[in-house]
Amino acid sequence: MDNPDLLLKQLSSIVLNASPLIIAVCGETITERAGLINLSLDGTMLLSAMTGFIVGYQTGSLWLGFLAAALVGMLFALIVAFGSIRLKQSQVAIGFVLTLLGDDLSAFLGQNFTRMPGSFVMKAGIPLLKDIPILGPIFFNQDPVVYFALLLVIATWFFFFRTQPGLKLRGVGERPEAAFARGVKVNRLRYLYALVGGALVGIAGAAYSLDVKVGWSEGHIRGMGWIALAIVIFGGWSPFRGAIGALLFGATKALATVLQRTFPQVSVVAFNTIPWILMIAVLVVSASELTEKFINLMPVSWRRPLRRLLRVSAPLALGTRFGED
């Protein structure tokens, strides 16, 4: 790692690899901020990755591929929203069944399209910006999916915290009764943001099969949806922290690959376990009482920033139902 060019290349590949995850995390953050949990991410992403790849392959148009994937994501999100809001059933149960169903559907429907070369998103550096030293090659000499992910993070943050509809969105997820009293149509907004989030999750799936991990095979990106769901929690339902979480996750994976090359005697297995151990560790840090005890051992002036850094709190009305009648 003494070669700076190599390091830059490594960093830019981390950003590229984390982009679909960032998109999915943003999508789910939007949905959960409105108070609805869409647990079906893993299945949705598998099915939309498959759909996006096949549509892109058959029509030759990447746009149609992404569009089809977004529609798949919206369909699954709609099922979760309709089931929990209108039919008043458990959103966790519906989401979980959709996870399994999406996995099986993608395996079956995509069986004739496995391991085929398909079209993919081309790299397109942004003129001027890509020549900035260090930042240029990492962020601006990438492909459109990366730019979309980065813009999405900024746009989501701006929407949440600087606009009127964003305030309503957060209100619906925090105190739906209060929002309702102010004349906000709580359930209508939940439908809306479930669909928006679902579309983004679908796009994230296609971002894998059409860009980051081109192609389709059974169980293509199995597990990434769950990772995204964990990162949403780690990110404290904030788009920026979520994006940082996704980048850190990508960096850890890249680091593992480097370490593996340096220490070939350690089994590959040890490195495969990293994402899952990391997932548990991260959730423990953000939710456990132990973290609180640890923070209280620190000097008083450190406590507030540390708490802000390590602790998260969920939207108050997350996963609860709201009856407008």
Range in contact with other proteins (rule: CB under 8 A) among 55-63, 161-169, 180-188, 268-276: 268-276
CB nearer other proteins, residue 24 or residue 233: 233
The nearest distance, CB 118 to other proteins, in angstroms, is 19
- Using alpha carbons, list the distances in angstroms from residue 118 to 65, 107, 258: 11, 18, 29
Range in contact with other proteins (rule: CB under 8 A) among 18-26, 27-35, 123-131, 265-273: 265-273
Distance CA 108, CA 114 (A): 11
Distance CA 72, CA 128 (A): 37
Exposure string of 235-273, with b = 16+ CB inside 10 Å and e = fewer, is: bbbbbebbbbbbbbbbbebbebeeeeeeeeeeeeeebee
CB nearer other proteins, residue 41 or residue 204: 41
Annotate 201-215 with DSSP letters as a single string. Answer: HHHHHHHIIIIIT-S
The whole-angstrom distance between residue 127's C-alpha and the CA centroid of its chain comes to 28
Binder of other proteins out of 7, 100, 154, 178 (CB under 8 A): 100
Q: Is residue 234 a contact partner of residue 244, using CB atoms and an 8 Å limit?
A: no
Q: Is residue 156 a contact partner of residue 24, using CB atoms and an 8 Å limit?
A: no
Query: Which residues within the stretch 165-224 sit at the binding site for other proteins (CB under 8 A)?
Result: 218, 223
Q: Does 265 bind other proteins (CB under 8 A)?
A: no
Query: Which residues within the stretch 280-319 sit at the binding site for other proteins (CB under 8 A)?
Result: 280, 283-284, 287-290
- Using alpha carbons, list the distances in angstroms from residue 10 to 5, 113, 223, 290: 9, 31, 23, 35
Q: Does 93 bind other proteins (CB under 8 A)?
A: yes
CA nearest to 142, candidates 8, 232, 26: 8
The nearest distance, CB 125 to other proteins, in angstroms, is 37
Q: Does 269 bind other proteins (CB under 8 A)?
A: yes
Query: Which residues within the stretch 48-77 sit at the binding site for other proteins (CB under 8 A)?
Result: none
Binder of other proteins out of 71, 75, 101, 192 (CB under 8 A): 101
Q: Does 47 bind other proteins (CB under 8 A)?
A: no
Q: Does 103 bind other proteins (CB under 8 A)?
A: yes
Task: Give 152's DSSP letter.
Answer: H
Residues that bind other proteins (CB under 8 A): 39, 79, 82-83, 87-90, 92-94, 96-98, 100-101, 103-105, 107-109, 111, 218, 223, 226, 229-230, 233, 267, 269, 272-273, 275-277, 279-280, 283-284, 287-290, 325
